[in-house]
Every structure is written in C-alpha cells, then in structure tokens.
Amino acid sequence: MTHTIYEIVPEDVLLFRDARPFSAGDDHHAHSQFPPPPSVLYGALRTAGIALHTDLATFADLDRQGDWRKVYGTPQHPGSLSQRGPLLFCGEKVLFPAPADVLKAKDPPKDPPDSPRWTRMAPPREVVAVQGSVDPRLSPLWSRASGIWEEAKEFFDRGEIETYLLGRVPERGAGAPPGLTRLEPRSGIRLGRDSRTVEEGHLYTADFVRIADPDDPLAAAGFLTVIEGDEAAELPKEGWLRLGGESRPARYQRRDETSDPWPEGHVEEGRRFTWYLLTPALFRNGWRPAAIRAEGDSYVLEQGPVRARLAGAALGRAPRIGGWNLATNLPRPLRRAVAAGSVYFFELLEGTPDDVLSLFHGKNLSDDRAVEGFGLTLVGGWNHV
C-alpha cells in the first residue's frame, strides 16, 4: 500500500455548489459551499488517475478489464484508492476546522489584556437531564466561563489543534489569515443544449470561491490530502486536474514528507477521549455512528477491544452531501451528514488508550463512503466541567 501526501492548488476561482437544486431561469443564484465535501477532491484525483490508463467510457464498461480496475474500481464500487482528507493549507500552515465544543468570546474585554478569547464545553460529571433535552441518554455540554460566547467558525493551525487534543483550550486564536477565502459572485446566461446560443430570461449568478493568502499572494494555498492504495494508485509527482463546477484547473503536487499532517492523538488520564471530525461523516443512524448503540440509559461504543460510554456530543449544522457521477451522468443521492468539527465525548470502559488510538486516530470512521475521506477523525482528551 502506498501512502502519499498531495497538495492541490487551484489556479483560478472555484465553484462548489451546495445541495440545493439549481436551474438557470428557475433560480437565479447558485450558492457555494466551502470547504467542499471530500468526494469532490476524491473524484477529481480518481478521475485524473483513470485518465492515465483509460477513458470514462471504458471505465463505465464493466466488461473492460485491466490492472487499473483493481485500483479505481467501477462507477458503483471504488477500488483500492482511498483518501484521508482533505484539509486546507496556506503556505506552511495546515488548517483544521474549529471544533464544535470550542466557543469564541463575542466581545472580549480589553481589560485585562489577557482575557480569554476561547473556552471549551464538556459534559458534567453526572448526567443532567434538562427540559427540552434532545436525548435523555446524553448530558448537555457546559462551560464555566462567564460572558457571552458564540460559535467559533475560524480555522485553527496544527499547534492550536495539538493543544486542543491535549484537553486544553487553544490560546492564540485562529490560524488562518483573514481573507484566505473570499466569494466572487459572477453572472452568466444559460446556453441552449443543442444550439449553444443564449436563452432569453435565463440569467443567473454563481458564487465562486478564491483561495489565496492576502498577505502573500505568491504563497501556495489550497487543499492537502493523503492518498492510499496499491502501487498503481500513485499519481505522477505533479500534474493537472479539473476541480468543482465548470471543471476549473488545479495543480496537484506530491509532497516529499510521508508523516500525517495532523498531531498525535491523546486519551485523558487513560479513559476520557473525543472523536473530533476533520471532514463530514455519513452515519447510518443520522448523527449516531453504527458502532454506537443504545444500552439501557446510555449509548455505548463497541469496536474491537474498545467499549466506551458516549457522554455527550457537540454537533455542527448538518450539511447535505450530493454530487454528480460523471461515469453514469446521474446525480448522487442526497444525504444529510454530520458536520466537520463535530465532537463526540467518550469514557473508556474496556480496552486501553493504545487500542483507542490505533482504531480511531487519523482514520475515516464514516459508516458509508469512508474511502472518499468522509469521517476523518482525530482522538483527543477532555475533562469534566
């Protein structure tokens, strides 16, 4: 199995349409979602790999075989090619989504100057049921910090996430420079399918995204991902691919380092750990993974030698994941996902911290489409409020 890190740098603005239906003339505005779901990068890299061996028509013909079939599979079933990622990067910084249990001070006081900008929520020591609680098996999350706090929407750098995984509160603030991404609305008009001439009354606006470091426009900025598979899955050291709506050009390049771009995992005092999702996850029970089942008045995670009680969860707003299958020329089924940045809190009942780290840290834990990069998870520690 190969283990290769690639960076993908767009050479133009990008369009990652959200899951809302859009047809020029019926709706005038196509909205973008950013970051895109892992399937976008996976599909682009897989298509680039397929193009090195065959074309999409041959790929869709299941009677046609070749060494490439083991790597890239079929339109319905992926081969050995898998992805862990993507993450954003800017220059030398790798950027991570804000964990959902981290809150930002809405109006931090200027006096004293070292007033905390961030706080963390966590379950209390005892299960507390409150009126309106969504699930009586889980406790609401609490924080001892006073003041007014709001959701943190920034990205954090590797050092800040390393602090977070150790069970502490990030101190330095957001890792991404302001203005790393910006929307550029662009107008267009629909062309006739056969005549390729403009159609009256079909004006539209689409939200494109530009990724660039505002402080250093020459610095590389884009996506970072880990690609794994058989030897044949390895792409050339560098090349070009088509990314997102309108197939905008992006350059991919293999990095020399082979170590994972995220920090090591941590289990607090040998028994308290979190799942922190770096990418959206597709679980078969909605917000709850298939490995977590109801047991009496608790939820219990059972996988391999690990058995743990789910103490709480901090979930972001659920995105909807769809997409387009180029081989079949049909839309993919629309599904609700658990958002990147979501956090699950566990207390270890059976197994060791090493078991937890080997099973979950840096792994794709999504019940479905995990090979595409859904559900990439880091393991960290947490403390009771």
Return the SS3 of 358.
helix
Higher-scoring residue by pLDDT: 206, 326: 206
Task: Find the helix or strand (DSSP H, E) in which 200 lies.
Answer: strand 198-211
CA 335 to chain centre: 15
- Top mean-pLDDT range of 1-15, 85-99, 201-215, 314-328: 85-99
Does the structure show a pLDDT above 80 at 279?
yes
Q: Checking DSSP bridges between strand 376-380 and strand 363-364, what pairing results, if any?
A: antiparallel
Quick one: pLDDT band at residue 172, thresholds 50, 70, 90? low
CB atoms within 10 A of CB 90: 23
CA triple 159-160-163, angle to 5 deg = 90
pLDDT computed for residue 178 by the predictor: 66
Q: What is the mean pLDDT of residues 81-106?
A: 92
Instruction: Using a pLDDT cut of 90, give the percent of the chain over it.
Output: 43
pTM exceeding the 0.95 threshold for the entire prediction: no
Domain ranges across the chain: 2-91+179-212+220-254, 272-380
CA triple 338-342-343, angle to 5 deg = 130
Q: What is the mean pLDDT of residues 317-342?
A: 83
**How far is residue 329 from each of residues 60, 91, 237, 280, 361, measured CA to CA in Å?**
11, 36, 30, 24, 36
pLDDT in tens, 41-63: 998 998 888 888 888 778 878 77
Residue 52 and residue 235 in contact, taking contact as beta carbons nearer than 8 Å: yes
pLDDT in tens, 148-161: 888 888 889 999 99
Sign of the C-alpha dihedral computed for residues 120, 122, 128 and 134 taken in this order? positive
Does the structure show a pLDDT above 90 at 334?
no
Mean model confidence pLDDT for the chain:
84
Into which CATH architecture does domain 272-380 fall?
Sandwich (2.60)
Does the structure show a pLDDT above 90 at 7?
yes
Beta-carbon contacts of 268 under 8 Å, excluding residues fewer than 6 positions away, are 167, 381, 382, 383
Quick one: pLDDT band at residue 21, thresholds 50, 70, 90? low
Instruction: Using a pLDDT cut of 70, give the percent of the chain over it.
Output: 82
Higher-scoring residue by pLDDT: 22, 319: 319
pLDDT in tens, 103-150: 988 876 665 555 568 889 999 887 666 666 567 788 889 888 888 888
pLDDT computed for residue 32 by the predictor: 73
pLDDT computed for residue 233 by the predictor: 56
Quick one: pLDDT band at residue 231, thresholds 50, 70, 90? low
